[in-house]
Amino acid sequence: MSTYRAFEVTGSRKFELVTRELRQPPVGQVRIRVESCGICHTDFLAVEGVRADPERPVVPGHEIVGVIDAVGEGVTGWRVGDRVGVGFLGGQCGECDPCRRGDFVNCANQHQMGTTVDGGYAEVVFARGSGLVRIPEGMSSIEAAPLLCAGLTTFKALQQVDGPPGALVAIQGIGGLGHLGLQYAARLGYRVAAVARGTGKAALARQLGADHYIDSSREDPGAALRELGGAAAIIATAASGASMTGLVSGLAARGRMVVVGAALDPISVNTADLIFGTRTLSGSLTGSSIENEDNLAFSGRHGIRPMIETVPWAEAPKAYERMMSGEARFRVVLDVAA
């Protein structure tokens, strides 16, 4: 094949199916034949034009699984035929100050797949060797895709918990991130509280590993967590700053609320809730490629599986709309190989 197809986006939601010439990968990169690509809420940065130059065409998508079909100069450790994944962080430069200090996640020259560089709503994608993730044998490309971002994001946030096995951990929001967070928290040995609006997801939350369910539309979630003894950590996954407001008071002494749900509205926090109890409010941005391999290994070993709606690649714009509607249960994945 001398060409491949991709869905570019410009401005706000202006998708266009284009045909591109197939080229060799640049120095330090590989070329990947995409098999699947998850659709993540963070894709709105590209699709809604929330980026530096929204009129520059970009291919969205950063939960990418495929097979390497060409290896660029300077890439070591990878070869044609390897099945690999790429998450939101497409590979560190290894030269900036954060990289030199080992902080690869905060690399100043990090490729952000589907936002600053082309992503996986395409038949072919290019990625730095430093951003590649080995996909375990026996894990399907469709199931692996959401774990590369939604899975890793919640897994890494939970690694910030400073509490013994059996400590109370709350997962706020039962959606694309939260339904995985419940599974990770339970497998890590924590007592798990699910926090969501309404009772419609209560039974599912318990199936996924929750010991307690808090309906935030009927009771103050901070007070409810205090009645349970206070949370060592709260992982806030819902893309709403307003829904996160009031959760900090539910933390135990020295507890931490980790925000992973990207919202456009702010979080309001009482300073006393932070000071008294020495509580912490922080954010967490996914993890490195090797940490993603740890995540996939843990997920495979403990049976952590995303709930998926599979959509043909040709319907990528509709699939994005489905994700943004909030009605998907819970991750939408493009089947590019099909």
Q: Where in the chain is the domain with CATH 3.90.180.10?
A: 3-149+287-335
pLDDT of residue 191: 98
Helix axis angle for 289-302 and 178-187, nearest 10°, is: 70
What does the pLDDT read at residue 337?
95
- In 101-140, which ranges are continuous DSSP H helix? none
The angle at the Cα of 238, spanning 236 to 242, to the nearest 5 degrees, equals 90
**Could you report the per-residue pLDDT of 112-157, keeping only the tens digit for each?**
999 999 999 999 999 999 999 999 999 999 999 999 999 999 999 9
181, 180, 218, 210: which is closest to 194 by C-alpha?
210
- pLDDT higher than 80, residue 98: yes
- How high does pLDDT run on average in the chain? 97
Q: Residue 236: enclosing H or E segment and its boundaries?
A: strand 231-236
Number of helical (H) and strand (E) elements in the chain, helices listed first: 11, 15
Structure tokens at 89: 């962080």
Helices marked H in 193-326 — which ranges? 202-208, 221-227, 241-244, 271-275, 289-302, 316-325
Q: Which CATH number applies to 161-283?
A: 3.40.50.720
Alpha-carbon span 253 to 193, nearest angstrom = 17
Q: Which amino acid does the sequence have at 188?
A: L
158 is written with which tokens? Answer: 């939970």
pLDDT of 329 reads 93
Q: What are phi and psi of 115, to 5 degrees?
A: -130, -60
pLDDT value at residue 168: 98
| pLDDT digit string, tens, across residues 34-52 | 999 999 999 999 999 999 9
> pLDDT digit string (tens) for 62-79?
999 999 999 999 999 999
- Output DSSP code: residue 215: E
Q: Name 141's Cβ contacts closer than 8 Å, sequence gap at least 6.
A: 35, 36, 65, 66, 83, 135, 337
263: tokens are 């919202």
* Geometric angle at alpha carbon 272, from 268 and 273, rounded to 5°: 65
Cβ(70)–Cβ(33) under 8 Å?
no
Return phi, psi of residue 218, to 5°: -120, -15
Does residue 228 surpass a pLDDT of 80? yes
Residue 264 has pLDDT above 90, yes or no: no
Q: Determine the pLDDT at residue 239.
A: 87
Domain with CATH 3.40.50.720 in the chain: 161-283
- Predicted confidence band of residue 91 (pLDDT cuts 50, 70, 90): very high
* CATH superfamily of domain region 3-149+287-335: Medium-chain alcohol dehydrogenases, catalytic domain (3.90.180.10)
Q: How far is CA 277 from the centre of its chain?
A: 30
Inform me whether the pLDDT recorded for 1 exceeds 80: no
Q: How far apart are the C-alpha atoms of 28 and 93, rounded to whole Å?
A: 10
Which residues is 312 bridged to in the sheet? Answer: 335
**pLDDT tens profile 290-322:** 999 999 999 999 999 999 999 999 999 999 999
List Cβ neighbours of 97 (8 Å cut-off, separation of 6 or more).
108
Q: Evaluate if residue 180 carries a pLDDT over 90.
A: yes
* Backbone φ and ψ of 245, nearest 5°: -60, 130
* Distance separating alpha carbons of residues 181 and 192, to the nearest angstrom: 10
Which DSSP string corresponds to 4-68? EEEEEEETTTEEEEEEEE--PPPTTEEEEEEEEEEE-GGGHHHHTT-SS-TTS-B----EEEEEE
